Amino acid sequence: MGLLPNRKQSKELVADLRDRFVDGEKLSIDDVVKDYFNPKSPYAYLVVKNKVKAWMQLVKRHFKIHQGLWFGNIDDEGHYGVVTTEEEARYALIRYYRYVKGTVAGASLLVSDAGNKGLLPEGMRRERFLLTRPIEEDEDEN
């Protein structure tokens, strides 16, 4: 195998990773790089590391869509896996909460800034939620 696997090898490696995570293994990105590749230079390591990150997203999507399981980063050491303990669940929920909170805070700042510059309709600045309500049609018009 060269620096990066071809499409067929990539699918096989992702399937193997899924099987390992189903068996309860907890792996970091560095663990996967060491297990499946042997990068000989810093550049090769960074390229392979980005590929492994993409694979982790594929595995996460598979668990979410096909099996209904939470898969992701489960500890401060960067290990990925299926949540199996209360501590892992708490860690994952706190990370997800912080992510959502930051996204909502950023969106609120954007709405505030755009509203102050007059780029939004007047009613949108006073809405409690970020999404506007559906437009209600008048019965008289129909």
Q: Which two tokens stand for residue 68?
A: 């209904």
In the chain, what percentage of residues exceed pLDDT 70? 84
Per-residue pLDDT at 134: 46
Mean pLDDT value across the chain: 84
Q: Which two tokens stand for residue 110?
A: 């954007």
Per-residue pLDDT at 133: 46
Span 54-69, average pLDDT: 93
Q: Which of the two residues, 97 and 130, has the higher pLDDT score?
A: 97
In this structure, are 53 and 33 located in the same domain?
yes
In a domain? residue 32: yes
Closest by CA to 71, choosing from 95, 50, 103, 100, is 95
Q: Which two tokens stand for residue 2?
A: 């060269």
Please give the model's pTM, rounded to 2 decimal places: 0.70
Q: Which two tokens stand for residue 72?
A: 């992701």
Query: Residue 50's domain spans which residues?
Result: 1-83
CATH number at residue 40: 1.10.10
In a domain? residue 138: no
Query: For 21-33, what is each residue's pLDDT tens digit?
Result: 999 999 999 999 9
In a domain? residue 13: yes
In this structure, are 102 and 129 located in the same domain?
yes
Whether the per-residue pLDDT at 42 is higher than 90: the answer is yes
CA 110 – CA 115 distance, rounded (Å): 8
The band of 86, judged by pLDDT with boundaries at 50, 70 and 90, is very high
State CA 94 to chain mean position distance: 14
Reported as half-sphere exposure (CB side, CA atoms, 13 A), residue 82 has a value of 18
In a domain? residue 101: yes
